[in-house]
Chain A
Amino acid sequence: MFYRETGQYKTTYAADRAIFPIRQDRVAMAILLMIAFVAIPLVANEYWLRSVLTPVLVFSLAAIGLNILTGYTGQLSLGTAAFMAVGAFAAYNLEVRVPEVPFLVSFVVAGLAAAGVGILFGLPSLRIKGFYLAVATLAAQFFIEWLFTHVPWFTNYSTSGVITAPPMTLLGFSFESAESRYLLTLCIVVVMAVMAKNMVRSELGRAWMAVRDMDIAAEAIGINLMKTKLTAFAVSSFYCGVAGALWAYVYLGTVEPQAFDVLRSFEILFMVIIGGLGSILGSFLGAGFIVLLPIFIANASGVFGDALSAETIAHLEFVIFGGLIIVFLVVEPLGLARLWQIVKEKLRLWPFPY
């Protein structure tokens, strides 16, 4: 009834190629952004901003990164957390050694450093595919974790090997409060998400998808495989690197190499799979699902009070979480993004589907 594009004519190429060609979508997006930028900082308390919404945003960014590589280009990677670690440690080292650099610049450098490392570990993808590539990227995961644990230069010779991020100031404004940190993360994530959305709609993105669907055919129509795969690794790692820097600076404020272990890589891979492979929206939905659900279960189990022991509640969380993942994947193997698409299609016909 409300969600219908009847009467919306596209008179220019630009209108035809817009990210949201339907007016209702644009309005909904604008409202969503208003809520995210204005309503949430006003309404949400510190707990929600600091320890729920900020990590969701950071993980969304990492999931977008992995989605570009795995969802759009079809290169399975288990090294996501390692690229995040590269970003976090690059930003830290730049800030500590050259304190004059504004932290936003060091975030960009973090992304570039991760991109460089990503290209390096992407090289095997030119020869190997599928599960074999996943194993090769696993090497990146273990090597980088080992490197940061064992070369004290990276942690500025701190005895514990744990780095703490220097304070973030920009033009005299210090990003200390939960609101400012949330808004900073939101700005970076929104800008990079729009960039990613446009990238996957461009020639580059189409080349990625062609390689994903069949690399031999892609090569036959003139796509340079090496260039395409390596740009995918570079862009993906750039996103992960920035996410890692945000994780270390904005969310935790401190980081040790073990925070980016292989389990973190798996976590982000699950976000991409549950959210939807090859979908920017799916990256947000997947990150939201994986981060929010355990917190929700933990909060909800407080309702039972003393009826259940703390031990039972802790394990119940795993049971419900695992169960829901299976339910979701059985109901919709293509992820939450596909579910959303189905909802949209149904909405077009609603309330008279026949």
Chain B
Amino acid sequence: MQKHFIAALAALVLALPGLAGAQEQSGDGGEQFVPVTSYRTGPYAVSGIPFMDGFIDYLKMVNARDGGIEGVRITWEECETAYKPDRFVECYERLKNRGERGASVFNPLGTPLTYAVIDRLPADKMPLITLGYGRTDASDGRVFPYVFPLLVNYWSQSTAKIRYIAGLEGGHEHLKGLKIANVHHDSAYGKETGPVLARQAEEYGFEVDHFPVVHPGIDQKAVWLNVRRYRPDYVILRGWGVMNQTALKEAARIGLPAEKIIGVWWSCAEQDTVPAGDAAIGYTCSTFHGNGTDFPLIQDILLHVHEAGNATGPVEYVGTASYNRGVINAFVTVEAIRTGMGRYGARALSGEEVRWGIENLDLDEADIAAAGATDLVPPLRVTCSDHEGGGKVLFVRWTGETFEPASDWLEPDRDLVRGMVEESAAQYAAEKSITPRSCDS
């Protein structure tokens, strides 16, 4: 027994480098390689699975409908991160040199994962798209040339929430004296909006208090008892994973109407509201994308991927918040590659060339309408210094069955956020002795 066991072990060890070597040479000519890092296991898999299905379905659709981007077919390989930074780093290193000219761009889908690779990007000349999440101050493209927190970063979203509340109250002057409770996930991600809320509280004269919820947030009785004692006018919910549904249920238990709770987009999917049942009806949260299947682009996915029998996941996912986020992540990625091809020609692009494409991405209303994505994605214009691109925020309300729009596309308070972003980025640059590049040319 023991002898066989040892022999098997030896065979395993010997086979290891051989297999890895075989993997290295899998790149083909004339194809654009897009690395897909996903989490289909672990505590956040519920959101990760539909997201990645949407991402891959979109890539499949572009291949099936258009024969790739400008005729260059897209290839991809999936790597499981389990939402762990070290696993993501391993995936990043494994995939970054795949394909004819290396990987095009990474979409980590997680704030901690983003932080784990930021310092590696300049050396590898590898861009990173963090759509709606990630390191907020990376919006300053002079200090972070390779990171793109596209559409709306965390601080922009937070100011949009205040604007939305002001809209409900009938104007910014009515914010004075309001009490807002910030119930947040007790982690780097959860605490990130603290400074911008404090700044706005000072500006508009409302009061804000913070209520951290310990990960994973299954028991929140004590937290909501404190919230009730505080008697807030509004609650900002900055949760993630199982914490969201528990928070909604607890809020209902202390008699806080769901209409008064405003969630961030990580708290804004069917996985968060459906398990909370009736407690979630009327709950509002912020997104940067449309929900549902009522867009020509999503219909194309249904036609070319799902009806062709080539779907990644079940058809029920299509149109849910997480799925649509995956789709627009892939959409922005593909459009950035297309922009890059406009300059470098219709061939496989390197990471550096895709980076140029993202930085010069300019999708106006007409471009988005042509892609069949009106109201699915807001217009976007990235520049050398502004890596956020000026997206807008849409507030949606849960009706018990779907998310319905509860507002127009709101503009965040860009001036305030930009000032704070530059401050924070300058601190980072000083810490890492980076000389910010010049963007005037």
Contacts and interface: CB of A to CB of B under 8 A. Distances in A.
Interface of A: 45-48, 50-52, 55, 96, 149, 156, 158-162, 164-167, 176, 251-254, 256-259, 292, 295-296, 298-300, 302-303, 309-311, 313-315, 317-318, 331-332, 339, 342-343
Contacts of A298: 79-80
27 contacts: A51-B90, A51-B92, A55-B86, A149-B186, A149-B187, A158-B427, A160-B192, A161-B187, A164-B119, A164-B428, A164-B431, A165-B119, A167-B432, A176-B123, A252-B86, A252-B89, A256-B188, A258-B188, A258-B215, A295-B90, A296-B16, A298-B80, A300-B19, A314-B40, A314-B80, A331-B1, A331-B5
Given A149-B191, A251-B86, A256-B115, 6 more contacts: A156-B431, A159-B136, A252-B116, A256-B187, A259-B112, A331-B2
B115 A162 contact: yes
A165 to B, nearest CB: 8
A313 B93 contact: no
A176 B90 CA distance: 17
Minimum-distance CB pairs A-B, first 8: A161-B188, A51-B93, A314-B80, A310-B78, A51-B90, A253-B119, A314-B40, A160-B188
Contacts of A259: 85-86, 112
Contacts of B93: 46-47, 50-51
Contacts of B135: 160
A159 B192 contact: yes
Interface of chain B: mostly helix, strand, loop or mixed: helix
Given A51-B90, A310-B38, A313-B80, A96 B431 contact: yes
Nearest to A256: B188
B19 A303 contact: yes
Given A310-B80, A314-B80, A164 B94 contact: no
Nearest to B423: A159
B11 interface: no
Contacts of B370: none
Contacts of B433: 166-167
B195 A159 contact: yes
B160 to A, nearest CB: 18
A102 B80 CA distance: 37
B107 to A, nearest CB: 15
Contacts of A292: 16
Contacts of B16: 292, 296
A260 to B, nearest CB: 11
Interface residues of B, number: 56
A121 B187 CA distance: 24
B360 interface: no
Contacts of B82: 314
B385 interface: no
Contacts of B49: 311
Contacts of B118: 164, 254
Contacts of A160: 111, 115, 135-136, 188-189, 191-192
Interface string B400-441: 000000000000000000000000100110011100000000
Contact of B432 (A51, A166, A343): A166
B32 to A, nearest CB: 19
Contacts of A302: 23, 77
A162 B112 contact: yes
A162 B188 contact: yes
B296 interface: no
B120 interface: yes
Contacts of B432: 164, 166-167
B6 interface: yes
Interface in B353-411: none
Nearest to B16: A296
B205 interface: no
B41 A47 contact: no
A159 B90 contact: no
Interface in B253-306: none
A214 B61 CA distance: 68
B194 interface: yes
Contact of B191 (A96, A161, A254, A303): A161
Contacts of B428: 164
B20 interface: yes
Contacts of B77: 302
A78 to B, nearest CB: 17
Contacts of B78: 310
Pick from A164, A251, A310 the residue with the most CB of B within 10 Å. A310
B115 A164 contact: yes
B155 to A, nearest CB: 9
A282 to B, nearest CB: 15
Given A46-B93, A259-B85, A339 B119 contact: no
Interface in B63-99: 77-80, 82, 85-86, 89-90, 92-94, 97
A247 B271 CA distance: 34
Contacts of A310: 38, 40, 52, 78, 80, 312
Contacts of B136: 159-160
Contact of A311 (B40, B89, B191, B215): B40
A296 B23 CA distance: 12
Given A254-B115, A310-B78, A315 B41 contact: yes
Contacts of A156: 431
Contacts of A254: 85, 115-116, 118-119
Contacts of A342: 2
Contacts of A339: 2, 6
A259 B187 CA distance: 11
B8 to A, nearest CB: 10
Contacts of B312: 309-310
Nearest to A156: B431
B30 to A, nearest CB: 20
Contacts of B215: 258
Pick from B77, B89, B92, B188 the residue with the most CB of A within 10 Å. B188
Interface in B105-119: 111-112, 115-116, 118-119
B6 A253 contact: no
A300 to B, nearest CB: 6
Interface in B146-186: 186
Nearest to A309: B312
A298 B427 CA distance: 39
Contacts of B111: 160
Nearest to A324: B12
Contacts of A253: 116, 119-120
